[in-house]
Structure 1
Amino acid sequence: MADDTNSRTLLRERIHGQILRAILDGTLKPGERLRDDELIAWLGTSRAPIREALTQLADLGVVEMSPNRFTKVAQISPRLYAESASVWATLVTRAMHWGILDFPPDQLPILEALNETLRTTQAKDFPPGPTPIDGFVGVIVQHCSNQVLLDSIRVHDPLLQLGVNRYKGFMKTEPIHLYFIELIRRCRDHDVTGFEAGMRAFLSGPMRAYTQEMTGFHGFSDYEGSHGAGSEQ
């Protein structure tokens, strides 16, 4: 019985991963219908584990389900993306704090290489999937030892990635590149006090401007929440 349960769990996780990757890399487009017969043919398995995986993906916000009507890839509104990103930014700030405290010097060249890629790449040209920004932040965050915090961040990653794929045209990479130069220094010096101040300035400056331009409303305060009504677009 235990082996059967483990096998079903592994199958569901495999299917979950395959569908999620196809959504995030653009193989499955926002708004595209997810039909059982097509998924069965593609994934080579039965309906039950596919529906279980789709339900999990709906819980993450990357799939929309209406019983007896449709299942489709989610279309992320500007406001949903901005609000998800504000939660993600709050969590990542804490994780980066701890990551900077324990950042190993031999990984500084990795950050420098990723930031150089960011310097020479416009956000509109980012391919679907993790960006150089994600890679840079990930190198720091991996040194945070709080597993609960890391798991919470991962919950928001898929929805955030869908938002980046759709709204990257609004993003300006130059201020991010310049801020990352500062972050590299913070990692080298394990300077969490300077990091906290710099992050506040970055979130309330370039990141706030990005979300305001993207959403068309100005209710965000320091990229930590919404205090006013605005357009859903």
Structure 2
Amino acid sequence: MSTLRPVGRTLLRDTAYVALRDAIVCGELAPGEPVRDVELAARLGLSRAPVRDALARLVEDGLVETKPQSYTRVTRIDTRAVREAGAVVGAMHELATRTAVPSLSAADVAEMRAANDRFAAAVAAGATGDALNADDALHDVLVRVCGNRAVTATIARYTPLIRRLEWRLFATRGAWESAGMHERLIAACETGDVVEATAVTAHIWSSLTNLTAGVDHVA
């Protein structure tokens, strides 16, 4: 399903940003592909202004690069940048877990378990986008309960750099192992074991180092 389709008229800059970001993450807008505000505005059913604003934010995020009077294009996937983003995002998730676990409710744990069920089903079906969305939903429970706005903002900004690579290499990253690690995380959360939950979270995010080992760029 195309992510570049006409959008509603509320919060146009944010809506354009999310649509373009998601199109880059899933590869609909491919690495190195030129992006033009006129064409994107037409595809999204928007004026050029919110699209220009969205592209400026995507430049800051490292997903788009521009050279004045020359080009604006989707960046290539730089695995060094992915590793750096992974280190930051992983640290934020560890902090979120350490902070949130003592405050989790039974409903929060049930929400995490439901997300992992969706994750496992998506992996079995080979539905990469659904699996990554479910993975985000599981970890987002801890981020939400943590309540730290700086943690939330940092994760939101740098996670798309990681997800771009995962979209392309998802089948090779041991997704079934991830489902098992999620179960360990959920069990630790359910018993209030902060140390175990934080350790499992660290393991989950450190797996990105293995994913990018020996690779400089991904087309």
Written as runs of structure 1 = structure 2, the 5 A alignment for 1:133-212 is: 133-200=135-202, 207=207, 211-212=209-210
Residue 192 of structure 1: CA displacement?
Answer: 0.8
Separation (CA, whole Å) in 1 of partners of 2:45 and 2:84: 37
The aligned amino acid for 1:77 is D
Residue 121 of structure 1: CA displacement?
Answer: 4.7
Residue 135 of structure 1: CA displacement?
Answer: 1.9
- Shifted more, 101-110 versus 85-94: the winner is 101-110
Residue 213 of structure 1: CA displacement?
Answer: 4.9
TM-score, normalization: structure 1?
Answer: 0.75
Higher relative contact order (CA 8 A, sep 6+): 2
Q: Secondary structure at the match of 1:142?
A: helix
The aligned amino acid for 2:197 is F
- Shifted more, 119-128 versus 158-167: the winner is 119-128
Written as runs of structure 1 = structure 2, the 5 A alignment for 1:82-97 is: 82-97=83-98
For the aligned residues, what is the CA RMSD?
Answer: 2.7
| Percent of aligned pairs sharing the same letter | 28
- Which residue of 1 is the match for residue 216 of structure 2? 232
Residues 203, 16 of structure 1: alpha-carbon distance in 2 compared, 3 angstrom cutoff: closer
- Shifted more, 128-137 versus 147-156: the winner is 128-137
Could you report, residue by residue, the CA deviation over 1:182-221 in whole angstroms, capped at 9, with x for unpaired residues?
21122112221232344455566xx1xx5235331xxxxx
Residues 37, 186 of structure 1: alpha-carbon distance in 2 compared, 3 angstrom cutoff: same
Residues 201, 35 of structure 1: alpha-carbon distance in 2 compared, 3 angstrom cutoff: closer
- Which residue of 2 is the match for residue 35 of structure 1? 36
Residue 126 of structure 1: CA displacement?
Answer: 3.8
- Which residue of 2 is the match for residue 132 of structure 1? 134
Could you report, residue by residue, the CA deviation over 1:41-91 in whole angstroms, capped at 9, with x for unpaired residues?
224444444322211111011112122221112221222212211211011
- Which residue of 1 is the match for residue 61 of structure 2? 60
| Number of matched pairs | 207
Separation (CA, whole Å) in 1 of partners of 2:140 and 2:74: 26
Separation (CA, whole Å) in 2 of partners of 1:183 and 1:93: 12
Separation (CA, whole Å) in 2 of partners of 1:194 and 1:41: 50
Separation (CA, whole Å) in 2 of partners of 1:108 and 1:200: 19
Residues 196, 110 of structure 1: alpha-carbon distance in 2 compared, 3 angstrom cutoff: closer
Q: Secondary structure at the match of 1:131?
A: helix
Residue 128 of structure 1: CA displacement?
Answer: 3.4
Q: Secondary structure at the match of 1:80?
A: helix
Q: Secondary structure at the match of 1:39?
A: helix
Could you report, residue by residue, the CA deviation over 1:107-155 in whole angstroms, capped at 9, with x for unpaired residues?
3233223323444554993433743322211122211121122112111
TM-score, normalization: structure 2?
Answer: 0.80
- Structure with max Cα Rg: 1
The aligned amino acid for 1:186 is A
